[in-house]
Amino acid sequence: MQKTLRLILGDQLNQQHSWFNDVSESITYVFMEVRQETDYVAHHIQKVIAFFSAMRSFASVLEEKGYHVLYLKLDDEHNQQSISANIKKLIKEKNYTFFQYQLPDEYRLDQQLNILCAELNMSDVDTKAFDTEHFLTDRFYIRRFFEGKKMYLMESFYRQMRKEHNILMEPCGKKPFSGKWNYDKENRKKYKGEIPVPIPKTYVENVENLVEMCKTANLKTIGKIDAQKFIWPVSRKNALDLLEFFMEYCLPWFGTYQDAMTDQHWSLFHSRLSFALNVKLLNPLEVVNRAIEAWQEREQAISLAQVEGFIRQIIGWREYMRGIYWDKMPEFADLNFFEHKNKLPVWYWTGNTKMKCLQHSIQQSLEYAYAHHIQRLMVTGSFALLNQTHPDEVDNWYLGIYIDAIEWVEITNTRGMSQFADGGIVGTKPYIGSANYMHKMSDYCSNCYYDRKLKYGEKACPFNSLYWHFYETHRNKLAKNPRIGMMYRILDKMEIIEKKKILDQAEKYLKKVDDL
């Protein structure tokens, strides 16, 4: 009898995949927890536990439904700690004649499995790759869509997705519902406590055995975890439950406050569904359609701006970033437009800084393995850019610390959007801000050691001087950028003495950045 071995990676937990339409005794599904995946960066302990727990949960679901499952735990004595080595060993020992897998979302794994399949083919083992059946687009849709174009405008792509999938469109299918494609200008309100924030929906799962296994294996991890009360959804049931919580309690205010930041709440009105989506416990269209249903059911409570802002993140930004990734890798991973070389400040690993915005954003990240997109872009990301940090350092930090970080979505957001290391493929300008932006969008400046109004002096907010220092340093690469020409006009109108004080202050801060 022909025997097939099918590999399921930790981010391929899709119960609705066509693989599972039939149960066959000749097919074995293999899951594996391997050092290859835990060790390439220092991951947050909650991220490691979330992946392992979700994989084990999914494997149990398959077993309950009658599928033949092989599960290699991290501490299994037969575990080779490499995906390729484990596959080869299993095929040799159990005489599998077919090896099948779903296309990985990471370039490095795609390359690894291509090499593995070439080796297996030489040993008379047939191989086949399947689509994950998750995304709205294939890997190279972006490349075809923007063929011949100089710029890859996300808005153009987003509108195409709306049309193709008939999402928030008029009956004719050509115009957006209500006549507007985008409500981004209505998504930038500062949170001042006027709307009660719901207590975040969390889960209580005991993962002490997993944490102990990781400790025994001496895994290098970062962050904190409550092993008796693990809060993240790691099953489809709980992911769907969190989806419903978001629709009921958060969606009515999501769009309005999606860019707001506060030290009073760690999740505000955000969905926190990114981990469940990225490991494929949830399908993007499933989430989008549920948001539209919720809006249609409660139009008095949920405005179109809230729904459109949420949907744009999923079918616009998420799909767009994946397309950029597959179009530009592997070269994208080495881009360093500004030739930055500095290391991340030591407090990125502790949160022990006197800057309130960074202190809160980093400590929250260490505690929950989570921060929302503006905290990542305009706080930790912006400061890393102002610090002239090497993009490799930034990539590794983001890839490790966040529970939802998988390279296809992480690197395009950090090396591209956040650090502008791609020179403008993803973003049209560097995303940096002074204390004015921080005060406009957050309450972080309250009770901060530094004074947001000062550009130089002992307690001057570091963002202020570093902001202008960044523009001055990279004048030759940025001065002709039409989106930031005004900044250079302001800089050039400064009095010489004033400008020198600001730039000297920035140099002083850069030299003692670990002490800020």
Among the listed residues 203, 149, 222, 174, the one whose alpha carbon sits nearest the alpha carbon of residue 369: 222
Residue 439, phi then psi, degrees to nearest 5: -70, -35
Q: What is the pLDDT of residue 299?
A: 84
Bridge partners of residue 27, in order along the sequence? 4
Class of domain 346-515: mainly alpha
Nearest-angstrom CA–CA distance, 160 and 166: 10
| Phi-psi category of residue 113: left, alpha or beta, with phi > 0 → left and psi -120 to 50 → alpha | alpha
Q: Which single residue is written with the structure tokens 């000297």? A: 504
Task: Calculate helix-pair angle for 284-297, 236-245, nearest 10 degrees.
Answer: 30
Q: Which residues contact 21 (CB under 8 A, 6 or more apart)?
A: none
Q: Give the Cα separation of 444 and 466 in Å (integer).
A: 18
Dihedral sign, Cα of residue 273, residue 274, residue 279, residue 283: positive
CB-based contact 452:435 (threshold 8 Å): yes
High-pLDDT (> 70) share of the chain, %: 100
Residue 130: beta bridge partners?
102
Q: Which helix (H) or strand (E) holds 70?
A: strand 68-72
CATH no., domain 4-130: 3.40.50.620
pLDDT higher than 90, residue 266: yes
Question: What pLDDT score does 3 carry?
Answer: 93
Give one DSSP letter per residue of 425-443, joined into a string: SS-SS-----HHHHHHHBS
Contact 63, 36 (CB under 8 A): no
- The pair of structure tokens assigned to 421 is 């290391």
Alpha carbons 70 and 6: distance in angstroms, whole number: 10
3-class DSSP state of 343:
coil
Annotate 412-433 with b (16+ C-beta within 10 A) or e (fewer): bbbbbbbbbbbeebbbeebbbb
Domain borders along the chain are 4-130, 141-328, 346-515
Give yes or no for a contact between 239 and 291, defined as CB atoms under 8 angstroms apart.
no
- pLDDT above 90 covers a percentage of the chain that reads 90
What's the CA gap between 394 and 429, in Å, rounded? 18
At 173 the three-state DSSP class reads coil
Which pair of structure tokens corresponds to residue 252?
């009515």
Rounded to the nearest angstrom, the gap between the alpha carbon of residue 230 and the centroid of all alpha carbons in its chain is: 20
User: Which of the four pLDDT bands, split at 50, 70 and 90, describes residue 2?
Assistant: confident
Q: What is the pLDDT of residue 52?
A: 98
Query: Which of 74-78, 260-264, 424-428 comes out lowest in average pLDDT?
Result: 424-428
Summarize pLDDT for 102-126 with one digit per residue, the tens: 999 999 999 999 999 999 999 889 9
Output the six-digit token pair for 438. 């921080």
- Retrieve residue 266's tokens: 């760690």
Is the confidence at residue 134, as pLDDT, over 90?
yes
Are the C-beta atoms of residues 122 and 128 closer than 8 Å to each other?
A: no
* Overall fold of domain 141-328: 1.25.40
Amino acid, single-letter form, for residue 53: S
Instruction: Give me Rg for the CA atoms of the chain.
Output: 24
Whole-number mean pLDDT of the chain?
95
| 296 Cβ contact partners less than 8 Å away, ≥ 6 residues apart | none
**pLDDT higher than threshold 90 for residue 151:** no
Which strand (E) or helix (H) includes residue 4?
strand 4-7
pLDDT digits 0-9 by tens, 183-195: 877 777 899 988 9
Q: How far is CA 385 from CA 288, 394, 435, 479, in A?
A: 33, 9, 15, 17
